[in-house]
Structures are given as C-alpha cells and as structure tokens.
Chain A
C-alpha cells in the first residue's frame, strides 16, 4: 500500500513527558547522613583504641587528637568535594575531574583496599566482641573463622538483594551513640585520673620517637569511613547544607568520644614496664581486640557485667553494619571504576540477574576473608593507614587543583579560610591536610614494613590490571581529542 500521506517538514510527532531519562529520589537529610557516616566512623571506636595504644602508649590521647585534626581537614575537603561532585567515587571522582584517569585510578584503587580492610577489621573485631558472650570465639583461629562467616553471610545477603532496613540501621546507630556517650560520661566521672595520665608519659622512652610516629600514622584507623559521606552525595537532600553539617557533627562527636575514652583507658590500664623490660599497657595485653570491653570492665561491680554484655552485643551489631558498609562501598566504587573504564568489565559489571556488581562483591569478599584468616589486627591497621592517607592526600590535592583549574565550578559548600594567590582561592585546611596526610603516608611507608610491602604490592597489581586493560581497550572516550583537519586541508590543496 502506497503512503498517500505526504509528510511535510512541519509535521512532527509530539510525545509529552520523559524529557529526562530518569531522575533520582534524594531522601537523606542531615540526620540520615549523620547516622550513615557515624555508623562507619563510630564503629572504629570498638577496635582502634587497642591498635593505637600498642605503639603510642601514654601518648595515645594526644595522638588521637592530632589525627582528629587531620580528620577535620579531610572531612572539610570531602564536604566540598561531595557537594561539588556528588558521585560514588569519592577521592577517585575528585581526582578524575582534577587530574587524569590514572591519578583517579590510584585514588580509587587504594580506597578499594581501605574498603576491603574495613570489611576485614570490622568482621574480625565483631567476632572478638562476641567472644565475651561465647568465650570460644575470642581466640584465633575461631575469631578468624567467625569473621569469614560474617563476610560470606553479608556477601550472600547483598547478592540475593534482601532489603536492609534503613530505619533499623539508624536506630542501631543512635543506640550505639547513646551507649558510647554513657560510657564516656561514666568513664570521665569514675575512671579518668589526670595524675596517672601524666605518669604514663616517659618522653623518648615510652613511646620512643619511632613508636610515636608509628602511632600517629596508624591512628588514621580511628576515623575509618569519612568516604561514606561522598558515597551518599547523590542521595543527599539539599547536599550544600546537609553534607557539611553531617560531617561537622560526626567530627565533633567522634573527637570528644576519643578524647574521653582514650584517657579513661590509659587511666585504667597505666603504662608499665614488663618483665622483659618493654613498656606496655594491660589494655593491649588483655583487650587488644576489644578495648571498649576493657573500659566497661573497670566500671563499678554493680554495672560492670550488664555494661560489658551490652557493649559486646552492641559492638557486634555495629561492626557487622560497618562490615556491610565496607562491602557496599567497595561494590559502588567498583561500579564507578567500571563506568570510567578503570576496571575490567569482568569485575565491575552489574549482574543482570542479581542487579549488583556480583563479581566485585565475590572477589573483594575473598580478599577480605584472606586478610581475616591471617588474624592480625596490626597488619589490617597498617594496610588501612597505607590506603587511607594516600587517598586523603589525593583528595586534598584534587580540591586544590580544582580551585585553580575550575574556580567557577558550582560549589554548594565552599571550605572557609582561603589563601588568595594570583586571584585563586586556595583552602588553608586542604593545604594543611594534604601536607599532614602526605607526611603520614611517608611515615607509614617508612615505618610499617608489612604495610609497605603489601600496600605497594596491591598498588602494583592494580596498575598492572589498569595498564593491560587500557591497552587492550585502546583510547577511552574521555581521552579522545578532536584531531585538527590538517590532512583534509592538505588533500584539498
């Protein structure tokens, strides 16, 4: 049948609606962001104290204060970055915009290491706290086996896609926060003794300068999870206000809690010289894996057992939530890297059936399980410090570079206090934070032998995958440049 209708140029089909491909429902306000971030950062309170006290000894409280300041600078950097580029990649996303895909890859790859270590350290510590209720779980290898079971269980849940209850998460985090505040108040009133804290410090001996530097670098583990805010940037309602507020609230809360809890722990378990002449504290001898139980144990007899049981129960819950947060972070980051052609599709692709990056979850769960199997919390903290401070350094550098390269980029939150150099505003906190994290990374590399070897091996494997993958794929869309029409012009001539 011939088409008798003669379409004219003006005849158009108008299809209303769907002007955009899709739009997102942003639901997280300041409270939601705070609870998500605190769920991560606050969980480190349950394991970091022992790790830091192992090397910083009597100087543990000031060391945690110093790393708290670095955390504040980093938190401000992430607040500006997350509101400016609300993507899942965190420092990788900032570096992608500020520098190039390679720098972005390095930032994302070390961050991936951090997420995996967060999974390992949280699952391992959760089982150690469970050891208070079931004593058989409190020792190696039972704690490692238990940790691996936790990771496998969470991987199964995430692959099957059972819906996690956000409301339950928020309630648990709030209960956790209230418990930590209660312990801190009780500890401040009943346990903290300033003269003991002063006597704990033996300048140049306990800790030695090396131990002190080691302590400062490893104390980064006390603030795991600041990246969470970046991850949730795309889900935040009014991100220009809610993200900075959530970040500042998290900082204030964690900073105060660390100050009080570390002073309480070192008051209750003073630094002393062991029979072999080394300086130690019973906190790390008896409660290395579950230091908050150590604080609960020195409370008055009437509340000691109830409080210890409650702390153990809550720590298990919060640390399992933190393990899951690490798994979700790694999974989202794998997706981000896959989208930017930084990770082969076999790892990053979203499974059609499960609708999650299935292979990424499986691979990272296996690596986390291997790390848990070793059962050495010090090694995990080393690795965390190696990845975290490098990622933070690159985040600070990216924010500074973007202030220079793209000063007009919309920034719903702009870090206050800036240096004015050649008409550019450079945030002072990012300069200080960048320098501090870079020096810390240098100390980590210099003083942590295991962290250095494993960390650089991780980086080398990643770069090998990256270069082989990029070489195989050829130039990526983001690298394309418009070739000048020289050839054509010459042909015409």
Chain B
C-alpha cells in the first residue's frame, strides 16, 4: 500500500519508533523509505551556508536512523536538507519524490500548559500531497 515513505526526523524521542514503523510498513510491499533531517537556515545567511554544528547534528540524527534501520534489516535512504522553513521543505520533498506516505514522529510538547503540535506538523497535515501518519510515543 505504501511503496514510498518519507520520514522527517528531528532527533526527538519518537524518531526510533517512527523509523521502525516505516521499515515494517515498507517491508510488506518492498517499498522505499527516505529519512530526511532539515537544517533551517536563517534569512541572515545564504541558503547554502554551511553551519557545521547544525550539519553535524543532522548527520548524527541520520546515523542513528541508519542504525535503527539496520536493526530492522531494512535499507533506508537518508538526506540532509537545508531550507528556510521545515514544513515547506518536507512538503516539497514529498512532491519531488512522489511519496505515497509521510510518517512523522511527534514529541510531546507543551505550550502554556497545553499539548501543542508546533508549527511543522499542522503545515504538513494541511499541505501534504499524500496521506500523513503521525506517531506519538
């Protein structure tokens, strides 16, 4: 059913289980899984600015993703994206790759004492070209 799955990862607690779930879903149809980590670049810098600390952090997140995928005996393609905003970058990536599912892990966040989804998840839910599954640990 889900031949191409995009998993945006942010280095939170939900990443590991989200990747496991993506591998298991893709396995059934021998589908493909892409994991992307988005580095946001402020407008005070050119988009191609190399902020080593941020890229290193993204690389570490993706190394962890590859390890989890290896535990599941599945191959995951990983990529670092640089963009101004995370939400539009995920949606653009989904459109460009023609994915059939976006699987996102949601960390428990509270704002003013209330559960909050933040900005990225609502943007993706609103603009995604394909079904979206949210996974909260």
Residues of B within 8 A of A24 (CB): 47-48, 81-83
Interface residues on A, range: 20 to 34
In the bound complex, do residue A17 and residue B44 qualify as a contact, i.e. CB atoms below 8 Å apart? no
Judged by a CB distance under 8 angstroms, whether A448 is at the interface is no
Segment at the interface with A among B9-17, B84-92, B110-118: B84-92
The smallest beta-carbon distance between B12 and chain A, in angstroms, is 19
Within 8 A of A (CB), among B57-90: 58-59, 62, 66, 75-85, 88-89
Within 8 A of B (CB), among A245-279: none
Mark contacts of A331-351 with chain B using CB atoms, 8 A cut-off: 1 yes-contact digit, 0 otherwise. Answer: 110011000000000000010
A356 in contact with B45 (CB, 8 Å): yes
- Give the interface SS of chain B, mostly helix, strand, loop or mixed: mixed
B79 touches A17 (CB 8 A): yes
Contact residues in A for B39 (Cβ distance below 8 Å): 22
Q: Residue among A22, A327, A350 with the most chain B CB within 10 A?
A: A22
Instruction: Give the distance in Å from the alpha carbon of A335 to the alpha carbon of B43 in the complex.
Output: 12
A161: chain B residues at CB < 8 Å are 42
- Report yes or no: B81 in contact with A23, Cβ–Cβ below 8 A: yes
- Contact A355 to B51, CB < 8 A, known contacts A16-B75, A88-B46, A163-B85: yes
CA distance A191 to B59 in the complex (A): 63
Please give the distance in Å from B64's CB to the nearest CB on chain A: 13
A22 and B82 contact, CB distance less than 8 A: yes
Which residues of chain A come closer than 8 Å to B78, judged between CB atoms? Answer: 17-18
Instruction: Say if the beta carbon of A164 comes within 8 Å of chain B.
Output: yes
Residues of A within 8 A of B66 (CB): 15, 17
Question: What string of 1s and 0s marks CB contacts (under 8 Å) between A1-44 and chain B?
Answer: 00000000000000111101111111100000000000000000
Residues of B within 8 A of A (CB): 39, 42-51, 53-55, 58-59, 62, 66, 75-85, 88-89, 92-93
Chain A contact residues, CB within 8 Å of chain B:
15-18, 20-27, 87-88, 158, 161, 163-164, 166, 231, 234-235, 327-328, 331-332, 335-336, 350, 352, 355-357, 361
